[in-house]
Amino acid sequence: AIPACDVESSGQRFARPTTIAELLALLAENPSAQIVAGATEIGVELNKKLVSFPFLVSTEAITELRAIVKKDDAWEVGGAATLTELEEALAGEIPAIDKMLLVFASRQIRNRATLAGNLVTASPIGDMAPVLLALDATITLASRAGERTMPLSDFFLAYRKTAMQKGEIVRRVTIPRRASSNGGQSARRKVDSFKVSKRRELDISIVAACFAIDFDGAGRVVAARLAYGGVAATPARAK
C-alpha cells in the first residue's frame, strides 16, 4: 500500500515513507521507482541531463535508516545517514575518513549526500569507496525477502553496476573499528587516505587511495589492504 504522504504533481509521483517496511513495500510494488536520499546525484541528472524519474521515493523521513550505531567492534551506518552525520558520529576516531571527507565536495553537499548513496552510484572515482575497502567494510542490503550482507569488495560488479537487485535498499554499511588479529594477538593499525584532483577541494578525484596496514607486537605486517579509485572500471583493491 502507498503511504498517505504519496503525492502527484505534473504527472510525477512522490512518496515519503516513514518506516523501512513502507519503503520496501513501495519498491516491491513499483519496480521503476527511484530512491532519493541526498539527491546530489539525481539532482544533476534532472538538471543537466534532463532525465525523467516518474516516481521518486524519499528516505529522509525514515529515522531507522539515518541511525549511526557505535558497537564494540564496528560502526553501523544507516543507508540514509549523511556524510556530515558520519563525520560527527565518528568524532575523529578514523582519521582516514575525516581526511577524505575534508576534500569531498563542500560542507553543503556533505550535509545532504549519504555514505550509501556514494557507494550505490558505483562511480570508479567515488571518494569513499577506497577508504571503506581498505577498512574491510561490509554492506547490508534489504528487501521484502530479507537481508543479505557482503564485503564491499563484492558489491561493485562493473562500471556503474552493483550487486543490488530490484527492490533492495542499502540497510547499513558496517565499518570495523579494530585491527586484524594474529593468533588472538591484537594488532596495531596504520591507515591513511589520499586523493589527487585538479583542485585540492571541491573537485572529483583523478585517483584516490587508502592503505590499511596491521602490525603485530613485534612490528611484523599481519594484514595489508590497499584500495584505489580511478584506476579501473570500479573501485578496487590491489590484491
Q: What is the pLDDT of residue 9?
A: 60
Cβ–Cβ under 8 Å, residues 135 and 176: yes
Find the mean pLDDT for residues 79-101.
97
- Tell which wins on pLDDT, 213 or 6: 213
Which amino acid, one-letter code, is at 3? P
User: Considering only CA atoms, which of 179, 175, 149, 176 is closest in space to residue 164?
Assistant: 149
Q: What digits encode the pLDDT tens for the residues 150-207? A: 999 999 999 999 999 999 999 999 999 977 555 555 578 999 999 999 887 778 899 9
SS3 assignment, position 72 = coil
Return the closest-CA partner of residue 60 out of 18, 95, 24: 18
Q: Cβ distance 139 to 152 under 8 Å?
A: yes
pLDDT tens readout for residues 36-52: 998 887 777 777 777 78
- Is 231 within 8 Å of 238 (Cβ atoms)? no
Model pTM above 0.75: yes
What value does the mean pLDDT take over residues 6-31?
87
Digit-coded pLDDT (tens) for 178-187: 775 555 555 7
CA 222 to chain centre: 27
Q: How confident is the model at residue 120 (pLDDT cuts 50, 70, 90)?
A: very high
